[in-house]
Amino acid sequence: MARRSRPVLVGRVSRACLGLICAGLTVLPLGAGCQRAKESAGHSPVPAASAPLAGADRSGFRIVGYVTDKVGTIDNLRYDRLTHINYAFLIPNDDGSVRPLYARRKLSRLVEEAHQHGVKVLLSVGGWGYDAEFEKLAANPESRVRLVGEIVRHVQEYGLDGADMDWEYPDPGDSARHFLLLMQELSVAMRAEGRLLTAAVVAEGPNAAGILPEVFDYLDFVNIMAYDGPGEQHSPYSYAEAALRYWASRGLPAEKRVLGVPFYAQPGGVPYRQLVAASEAAPWCDGVRYRGATVYHNSIPTLQRKVQLALREGSGIMIWALPHDTADATSLLAAIYEAVHGHAATPSDEGEPPCMTPSAPGAS
């Protein structure tokens, strides 16, 4: 996944479909020249994005992207289209100590370049697969103090702007209370340093029940992981709606809700850039054929609809993960940025939409 795909030439996609951002200016007109994709079997159509709502508040809207230590490079990062970057991950041990950071030079370079563009960089702690370590350390006051100290040390050493907690997932009961204590103690330490504190949470369901509403007071914002959900599409528009509704019902204020979106397809976790290299339909269709199977991701129209949803009901978009994107006119980050700034794609009055097959279950 760290290997970069070759650049995708404009000629691979119908030029009438590609009014999208060249140098970050205009966005594609979907419709008129967009004929049915050649490999239509398995394609899932996407409702076209509507024009942005008049009066939608874009001031302070966050575009948060994850960069991983082991996957991908930062050579082509578009800092000008981001507000925050989360560097993943600092891994905890069950006694509150942490494992040595991987790719420390990469992190140092990332912080330097991001700060030159006014972009904040946070250190993400945990990630998938470390629940047992979190459960044990959070239950022990001494271990919590040790972990908080390690996070503060890394933030200071690398000149970071804060920390992002990614415990997947605290359980209801004692685990939830221990998570609350950990976040309270970490918040005190981050505030003393003038730094940010955020957290990543699951979209909804039983794994979300371990986040007590009292935690929200200690966080600057919350990244809602509205992907890898039930159903083959894993992150349809309807799932984003459900995720924002769920956290609103739990008392998370709109100004702290940041909607997570995937730059990859399921099944298989296929990076978007590989989908584009394999299929000219990938920028426009949520479902494409890849190596003999149908996989599902978020196309440009779907992501631009999600931006509008987040503008209405949240305060930003979070991306997992930036290295999965392309670096040309099919870039998903570019499409998100343009939608935030009022250039969402709109269908024309003529011609066919790019995807004509019936919606797969779970689409909206």
Q: Kindly report, residue by residue over 202-244, the tens digit of the pLDDT.
A: 999 999 999 999 999 999 999 999 999 999 999 999 999 999 9
Q: Kindly report, residue by residue over 263-308, the tens digit of the pLDDT.
A: 999 999 999 999 999 999 999 999 999 999 999 999 999 999 999 9
Residue 81, domain member (yes or no): yes
pTM: 0.84
Residue 225, domain member (yes or no): yes
Q: How far apart are CA 247 and CA 182, in angstroms?
A: 21
Q: What is the CATH number of the domain that holds 209?
A: 3.20.20.80
Residue 143, domain member (yes or no): yes
Within 8 A by CB and 6+ apart from 289, the residues are: 39, 41, 42, 43, 279, 295
Q: Which position has the higher pLDDT, 147 or 45?
A: 147
Q: Comparing C-alpha atoms, which of 97, 115, 204 is closest to residue 160?
A: 115
Domain that residue 227 falls in: 56-264+301-329
Residue 250, domain member (yes or no): yes
Would you say 92 and 133 are in contact if contact means Cβ atoms under 8 Å apart?
yes
Domain total for the chain?
1
Residue 148, domain member (yes or no): yes
Residue 116, domain member (yes or no): yes
Average pLDDT for the chain: 84
Q: How far apart are CA 218 and CA 190, in angstroms?
A: 10
Q: Kindly report, residue by residue over 140-172, the tens digit of the pLDDT.
A: 999 999 999 999 999 999 999 999 999 999 999
Residue 358, domain member (yes or no): no
Residue 249, domain member (yes or no): yes
Q: Is the peptide bond before 139 cis (omega within 30 degrees of 0)?
A: no
- Joined tokens for residue 159: 């000149």
